Amino acid sequence: MRIRKKECHDSDRALSLEWLETNGCGGFASGTVAGANTRRYHGLLVVASPPEYHRYVLVNHLEEWLHLDGCAVSISTNLYPGVIHPQGYRHCVSFSSTPWPTWIFTFNDQEVSREIFCVWGQSTVVVRWKLLTPTTDAIELRVRPKLTGRDYHALHHENGGLSDVAVITEKRVTWQPYHSLPAVHCLHTGTYHHAPDWYRQVQLPLEQERGLDFLEDWWSPGELQFDLEPGREQILVLTSELVDGIQPGELIRTERASRMRRRTVTKRPDRFAEALRQAAGTFFVRQGSRQTVIAGYPWFTDWGRDTFISLPGLFLVTGRYEAAWHVIESFIPFVSEGMVPNRFPDLGQDPEYNTIDASLWFIHTVDRYLVYSKDRKRVRAVAWPAIKQILDGYRQGTRYNIKMDVDGLIAGGMPGTQLTWMDAKIGEWVVTPRYGKPVEIQALWIRALQVGSQLAAKFGERDYAADCRRDRTRAVRSFRQRFWYEDGQYLYDVIDGPEGDDTSMRPNQVYAMSLCDDLLTNEQATQTLRVVKAHLLTSVGLRTLSPQDRRYRPRYEGGPRERDCAYHQGTVWPFLLGPFVTAWVSTFGRTTKSKREARSFLNGIEASLRDTCLGHVSEIFDGDDPHAPRGCPAQAWSLAEPLRAMVEDLGLLPITPEATNAVRHKRSATQQR
């Protein structure tokens, strides 16, 4: 992703483009191409501090000036009420995100580069500057770090409780503004002068757009000075780790080599699929002994539903089987009453189990893992008991009235709860309650029973296999009888709800075709997809509600209440393109024409990789044109599901031989209606 001079000099454009670096343990660095922070979540050193692994912003920003012959030019940018100051973006002539965020600035006919990257596996960020043009004069670089030390959801203001003490040694300085938070260790190749000061009323415009507090104060402990000379790099390392043994030059060499290895692919990849593959590792995190998937950056943590929807695209189609297993394994100890946690809250609180689908996605994912990895031994010993707990829990009944009904379908829900992925809630008001029998839950349940019967047969448990087959047959029969909405020529979104059967035109019905082959006739599947395409398909994903519905919200904007009201009432979700493409190819066949048309559905999100967070797909988009990107700027399932569909259904990305065989197995197992 390269941004040219014209875009770099356009303040609106450069402020709208974001970069993201992650460290594999929950922390990250992020900001804008312009250099200014526009979100409370932007920061240079954002750490996930053990043992709770809650995130804190320790270092927010760097203020940088170049000095030569009595002339000073700032290459940093900040936003204050009514003014951009300084305006370093005016001196930027290019930005590239490969192998990590890199800016080129011009100054008196000289070119200076700035690079920023996170070190994988530790809470460390490295900043490097180089003079790129030959000159006999040294350019002096002055740098002021801006610190806060705050919860990453909060904002920071000037106060008397901050400690301005610095521990200064040769080429090292340590600051700890608040003793309850980790210290910041700074290793550098320059000189440090301690001169504390405050930078007040920094403006964060994206927080203002979201109807939230948007002014913050930053504390700067002092100034670092470096001499930039041709052939000599200057380095600043900021870390909350123990600094003994850290060698800045070695960090750079090791990280570059690691990233080059990850970029190695076979010949002639699909460019979009390859871009998604490169970004997939962003979301894999190890926290202590547990490995998991971050649902999205910068503000989400790990969610059960998001993890198991995303896992095939992030890890299986990319050949990362061992990582996939560690994620699966890390959730198994938390299976409770037949349920997988929906969320692990911040600050070490107990897991939350308020989801009807995460457990069923877990079963589907374990089956996909087995198909790809052939790891029968570990699945049987570790995952199979958890699968049976889930199946039996749903049969007998578990939290939130989740239970298999007499018709073999799964019912669930009660007032004040939101159990499906359409989970917006404002106070005690659930925006899309979907109590009863949601359509995608039935597809997941029928799929889970199929997995249960197949695994039980493999593992010699004939009676259990027979029970699963019997329950599946009954559920399929009930689905066929109950879910077809003849007047609309599509599927009910929910049946047997408090107000009867729900005819809302929503995208959840595509799972009836992407997960199972026998719930609809070919004629019904064809008609359903045509209706979904006409009402819900956009260039960047599927709308969550038809524009013809009186409840439709065309824009996701305003304060928290306004945004929550629109979240699943028309807002577009790109992750739904995954099941839509799968359903399309399954229904219309794996012909060249069908696959070409299915690939065209992804063109819009391919273009979006150059908007918002570079190289990533946003969580959501507006329902109406021009479908502005909204929500979390880098979302795991927004990337994972299109990538999975491109590999499994369209065959667009060369991957490992093992993964290729698994994809072929999936295709051969798909029965034509």
Is residue 489 left, alpha or beta, with left meaning phi > 0 and alpha meaning psi from -120 to 50? left
Let me know: does 81 contact 263? Beta carbons within 8 Å. Answer: no
If one counts every other C-beta atom within 10 angstroms of the C-beta of residue 179, the result is 9
Read off the pLDDT of each residue in 273-284 and give the average, rounded to a whole number. Answer: 93
pLDDT the model gives residue 670: 46
pLDDT in tens, 75-132: 999 999 999 999 999 999 999 998 999 999 998 889 999 999 999 999 999 999 999 9
- Predicted confidence at residue 258, as pLDDT, reads 83
- Residue 666: both structure tokens together: 């999936």
Nearest-angstrom CA–CA distance, 343 and 620: 20
In this prediction, residue 653 has a pLDDT band, given cuts at 50, 70 and 90, of: low
Per-residue confidence (pLDDT) for residue 6, from 0 to 100: 97
Contacts for 269 with CB less than 8 Å, ≥ 6 apart = 277, 652, 653, 654
**Does the domain made of 265-669 have the CATH classification 3.40.50.2000?**
no
Name the pLDDT band for 267 (thresholds 50, 70, 90): low
Query: Helix 577-588 vs helix 592-600: angle between axes, to the nearest 10 degrees?
Result: 160
To which residue do tokens 């100034």 refer?
223
Determine the pLDDT at residue 512. 98
Indicate if the pLDDT at residue 659 is higher than 70. Answer: no
Instruction: Count helices and strands (H / E) in the chain.
Output: 20, 37
pLDDT in tens, 564-579: 999 999 999 999 999 9
* Bridge partner list, 112: 105, 131
Which residue spans of the chain are classified as CATH 1.50.10.10?
265-669
Q: Is the backbone of residue 266 left (phi > 0), alpha (psi -120 to 50) or beta?
A: beta
Which comes out higher in pLDDT, residue 414 or 348?
414
| Pick among 2.30.30, 3.40.50, 2.60.40, 2.70.98: CATH of 2-245 | 2.70.98
Q: What is the DSSP letter of 672?
A: P
What are the backbone angles phi and psi of residue 454, rounded to the nearest 5°? -70, -45
Task: Decide if pLDDT at 658 tops 60.
Answer: no
The pLDDT of 515-528, averaged and rounded, is 97
pLDDT tens figures, 330-378: 999 999 999 999 987 665 578 899 999 999 999 999 999 999 999 999 9
Confidence (pLDDT) at 52: 82
3-state helix/strand/coil string of 390-425: HHHHHHHCCHHHCEECCCCCEEECCCCCCCCCCCCE
Q: What per-residue confidence (pLDDT) applies to 248?
A: 82
Summarised one tens digit per residue, pLDDT across range 190-230 is 999 999 999 999 999 999 999 999 999 999 999 999 999 98
- What is the pLDDT, as a whole number, of residue 666? 58
CATH 2.70.98 domain range(s) in the chain: 2-245
pLDDT at 263: 63
Report pLDDT digits (tens) over 461-492: 999 999 999 999 999 999 999 999 999 999 99
- The pTM is what? 0.94
Which one is predicted more confidently, 615 or 258?
Answer: 615
- Asked if 574 and 637 touch (Cβ cutoff 8 Å), the reply is no
How far apart CA 538 and CA 188 sit, in angstroms, is 49
CA-to-CA distance for 562 and 299, rounded, in angstroms? 19
Chain segment 122-177, per-residue pLDDT in tens: 999 999 999 999 887 779 999 999 999 999 999 999 999 999 999 999 999 999 99
The whole-number pLDDT of residue 243 equals 78
Q: What is the DSSP string of 520-547?
A: S-HHHHHHHHHHHHHHTEETTEEESS-T
Structure tokens at 237: 């390392």
Q: How far apart are CA 655 and CA 231, in angstroms?
A: 39
Orientation of helix 522-535 relative to helix 577-588, angle to 10°: 140
SS3 assignment for 326-348: HHHHHHHHHCECCECCCECCHHH
User: What's the 3-state SS for 12-57?
Assistant: HHHHHCEEEEECCCCCEEEEECCCCCCCCCCEEEEEEECCCCEEEE
Q: Is the pLDDT of residue 514 over 60?
A: yes
pLDDT recorded at residue 290: 84
Identity of the amino acid at 208: Q
Per 3-state DSSP, the chain is made up of helix, strand and coil in percentages (nearest 5) of: 35, 30, 35
| pLDDT tens for each residue of 45-71 | 999 988 888 999 999 999 999 998 888
